[in-house]
Amino acid sequence: MASVLDVARIKKDFPILSRTVRGGHPLVYLDSAATSQKPECVLDAERTFYETSNAAVHRGAHQLAEEATQAYEDARAAIAGFVGGAPEDLVFTKNATEGINLVSYAFSNATAESAWGGAPDPRFILAPGDTILVTEMEHHANLIPWQQVCARTGASLRWIPLTEDGRLDLTNLASLIDSTTKIVSVVHQSNILGTINPVRQIMDAAHSVGALGLVDACQSVPHMPVNVDDLGADFITWSGHKMLGPTGIGLLWGRTEALNGMSPFLSGGSMIESVYMDHSTFAAAPSRFEAGVPMVAQSVGLARAVAYLDDLGMDAVHAHETELTAYALSALEQVPGVQIIGPANNVDRGSAISFTVDGIHPHDVGQILDSEGVAVRVGHHCAWPTCRHFGVPATTRISTYIYNDSSDIDIAIEAISTAQRYFGTRV
């Protein structure tokens, strides 16, 4: 298969891809939906920062502090620009999970403050009868925080159900989103099913009743062009480690006035305006949400990662993945006993493909693949309710990225057959 990307050249940028595993098998990394590998230039950028400009940001009057602050704010601008946003609307978090929690706590904090004489933005105050809407294909990161908000405020959780082929069943959307709805929080691209959801339509429905909208873009920003204006959301979260960046950094983008309507989340240094022993006032976003010494080196690494992706071109990245997904889907279909969990066609679909193999537990499938050098993920993929919906305890998932090509898929397919022979389910 020819690709729009020069995968052979790209592979060379990732030192880890030249290692071997399990007694000499070349590594075939098909677990990028969990976390991506990092190109050398990202590691270099981080290291250079530490070796030349490391200092606490926004604090010192010395040259290192100036340089570190500049590097941090330049990174913010670059990463915001990558999704068409403004720097002042981008908050650095430790991962996407923190970003979603940050927004969820804006609700429970405002609710509590209003009970004790505070005057928070009323959009964030919840009461019994109010509802929060998610879907049945959320990652735990976009489900449990909302369950917890309900447990802290008396609000109720609703969810959009799934169809049999792993799409959102929007038939009853009009009754799921009504005057009780305060926030709608939806995954853009499912990490377990690969489904790409019509988030614009759902965000517009949320706004039509005055609710806020959040999009979990963990699996979309790394894989396709994403523009914050096009999504139509109030908040978008994603993580750096899935898009060639370092571990320990995530992103929350918000519309300026939505961000500034939220009460602080983590509090401490750098997020303040004035501090007295008995009360404090707070800075505007993004500082308001960045208490303490932040992930400075990681922001520099991530900025280098988005430059790398920009050089490839996100259109090309997306085209490459769409091609590879088509290739993988049709190869999997030809293996007897393999059932795809999620959309089997390549329409509105990302590159994560979950499947089961008749008669072999997903864990055992994954283990045989591993023994052949193929790294995949097995389990419920932090989307346990989605597994329950499909009546499977777990799945095996392959997920590709810019450094994968069809030969990686071929090796995985061959390893599935090996597993079937090993467990005697195929001759």
Ligand X SMILES: Cc1ncc(COP(=O)(O)O)c(C=O)c1O
> By the criterion CB under 8 A, which residues form the site for another protein?
22-23, 58-61, 65-66, 69-70, 272-274, 283, 361-364, 367-368, 371, 378-380, 384, 387, 393-394, 422-423
| CB nearer another protein, residue 170 or residue 382 | 382
Distance CA 220, CA 139 (A): 14
Among residues 46, 216, 290, 408, which is the contact residue for ligand X, using CB under 6 A?
216
Which of a copy of itself, another protein, ligand X, none lies near 147, with the C-beta cut-off 5 to 8 A by kind? a copy of itself
HEC string of 52-100?
Answer: HCCCCCCCCCCHHHHHHHHHHHHHHHHHHHHCCCCHHHEEEECCHHHHH
Distance CA 215, CA 199 (A): 7
Q: Is 282 helix (H, G, I), strand (E, B) or coil?
A: strand
Which of ligand X, a copy of itself, another protein, none lies near 385, with the C-beta cut-off 5 to 8 A by kind? a copy of itself
| CB nearer a copy of itself, residue 3 or residue 143 | 143
| CB nearer ligand X, residue 79 or residue 187 | 187
Q: Which of 41, 218, 382, 387 is catalytic?
A: 382
Note whether 293 binds ligand X by CB under 6 A: yes
Which of another protein, a copy of itself, ligand X, none lies near 12, with the C-beta cut-off 5 to 8 A by kind? none
Active-site annotation holds for 382: yes
Which of another protein, a copy of itself, ligand X, none lies near 209, with the C-beta cut-off 5 to 8 A by kind? none
The H-or-E segment that residue 397 falls in is strand 395-399
| CB nearer a copy of itself, residue 159 or residue 255 | 159
Query: Residue 286 region, left (φ>0) first, then alpha (ψ -120 to 50), else beta?
Result: alpha
Note whether 135 binds ligand X by CB under 6 A: no
Would you give the binding string for ligand X spanning residues 341-380, x where CB under 6 A is met?
----------------------------------------
**φ/ψ of residue 107, rounded to 5:** -75, -50
Lookup: tokens for 53? 């400009």
Kindly list the strands in the beta sheet with 131-135, ordered across the sheet, starting from the edge strand earlier in the chain: 90-93, 250-254, 235-239, 212-216, 181-187, 131-135, 156-160
Among residues 85, 145, 194, 250, which is the contact residue for ligand X, using CB under 6 A?
250
286 preceded by a cis bond (ω within 30 of 0): yes
| CB nearer ligand X, residue 181 or residue 191 | 191
- Contact of 413 with 331, CB cutoff 8 Å: yes
Distance CA 229, CA 222 (A): 17
Distance CA 193, CA 139 (A): 11
Least CB distance to another protein at residue 282 (A): 9
Lookup: tokens for 219? 């699996």
- Contact of 312 with 5, CB cutoff 8 Å: yes
Least CB distance to ligand X at residue 127 (A): 28
| CB nearer ligand X, residue 21 or residue 382 | 382
Which of another protein, ligand X, a copy of itself, none lies near 283, with the C-beta cut-off 5 to 8 A by kind? another protein
Among residues 76, 139, 304, 397, which is the contact residue for ligand X, using CB under 6 A?
139
Lookup: tokens for 381? 């993929």
Task: List the catalytic residues.
Answer: 382
Residues near ligand X (CB under 6 A) are: 95-97, 139, 141-142, 187, 191, 216, 218-219, 239, 250, 269, 292-293, 382
